[in-house]
Amino acid sequence: MSIKQSLTQVQQRIDDAKRRYGRESDHVTLLAVSKTRSAEELQQAVQAGQHCFGENYLQEALDKIEALQQHALEWHFIGPIQSNKTRAIAESFQWVHSVDRLKIAQRLSEQRPPHLPPLNICLQVNVDNETSKSGCSLEALPELVAQVVTLPNLHLRGLMAIPQAQTEFEQQRHSFRRLRVVMRELQQQGYQLDTLSMGMSGDLEAAIAEGATIVRIGTDIFGSRKYSNTSEEK
Ligand SMILES: *Cc1c(COP(=O)(O)O)cnc(C)c1O
């Protein structure tokens, strides 16, 4: 199947899930996760109308941002962030979904170039409390939110999670629901949050059922990933 056909199919799944779960009037953004994909593959997605791309590895992302700069695309950084990478991220991306500690948020704010609008931020939450995963704990989240909203060059938009992989629909929903509930609590405390970044190829329907506003899809658009050992940070 071509990238164009896969995109159409994924968009159809999103539309079906919105209808099934009563979310017809909500906007759900399809973020094409393009880590390890070539600029040529992204170009095919752009030609099929795709506008938002998610990248995990800084150097390969910067190469693609430059190669595709004539298209004015929207770039989202979704991978783990080391502090020596924050400047380039703050300079080249419109969104960052993987902020999970104050130090990284402070650096992104300080290093955001003044001529650019505030950087859109989602805080990554370790919803299933997995020891091996990045993400802020549910317990630490309220304090992190309170600190991040004070940073001048960031715009805190919402929360992101990568739950434990589950094949059962109800179990998938369970983790996503936890993120939805904490977001609602934060909104009730007065924080103006509008984004739930959750759902990947295997669980986008469950994420939409629980209120996702951005789904991050790689495999079901571009096919399965073949990692080479030439990319950084593997
Ligand atoms: C790779 C990745 C995705 C996409 O996952 P697929 O299962 O390929 O759709 C989504 N989110 C993050 C943070 C990722 O690293």
Task: Decide: residue 88, CB within 10 A, 0-12 exposed, 13-18 middle, 19+ buried.
Answer: middle
Cβ of 201 closer than 6 Å to ligand 1, yes or no, is yes
Q: Which phi and psi angles does 24 have, rounded to 5°?
A: -55, -35
What does the domain layout of the chain look like in residue ranges? 3-222
Cα dihedral across residues 90, 43, 48, 6: positive or negative: negative
For residue 228, what pLDDT is reported?
Answer: 60
Using CA atoms, how far apart are residues 7 and 78, in angstroms rounded to an integer?
A: 20
Q: Using a 6 Å cutoff on CB, does residue 106 contact ligand 1?
A: no
The amino acid present at 173, given as its one-letter code, is R
DSSP code for 136? B
Ligand 1 atom with the shortest distance to the CA of 221? 9
Q: Measure 191 CA to ligand 1 centroid, in angstroms.
A: 27
What token pair was written down for 10? 């994924």
Q: How far lies 48's CA from each of 43, 75, 92, 105, 182, in Å?
A: 9, 17, 23, 34, 36
Q: Tell me how crowded residue 70 is: count the other CB atoms within 10 A of its CB.
A: 7
Count CB neighbours of 36 within 10 A. Answer: 18
Q: Which two tokens stand for residue 155?
A: 């715009």
Residue ID of nearest Cα to ligand 1 atom 12: 78
- Residue range 3-222 in CATH 3.40.720.10: no
Query: What number does the ligand 1 atom closest to the CA of 162 have?
Result: 13
What is residue 231's predicted lDDT score, i.e. its pLDDT?
47
Report the pLDDT value the prediction gives residue 191, as an integer from 0 to 100.
98
Ligand 1 proximity of 33 Cβ (cutoff 6 Å): yes
* C-beta separation of 29 from 214 below 8 A: yes
Cβ–ligand 1 distance for 56 under 6 Å, the answer yes
How many H helices and E strands in the chain? Answer: 9, 8
Q: Are 227 and 234 in contact (CB under 8 A)?
A: yes
Q: Which pLDDT belongs to residue 174?
A: 97
pLDDT tens for the chain, 234 residues: list them: 999 999 999 999 999 999 999 999 999 999 999 999 999 999 999 999 999 999 999 999 999 999 999 999 999 999 999 999 999 999 999 999 999 999 999 999 999 999 999 999 999 999 999 988 899 999 999 999 999 999 999 999 999 999 999 999 999 999 999 999 999 999 999 999 999 999 999 999 999 999 999 999 999 999 998 766 544 443
Q: How far is the CA of 114 from the centre of ligand 1 (A)?
A: 31
Quote the DSSP letter at residue 224. Answer: S
Q: What integer pLDDT is reported at residue 20 of this predicted model?
A: 98
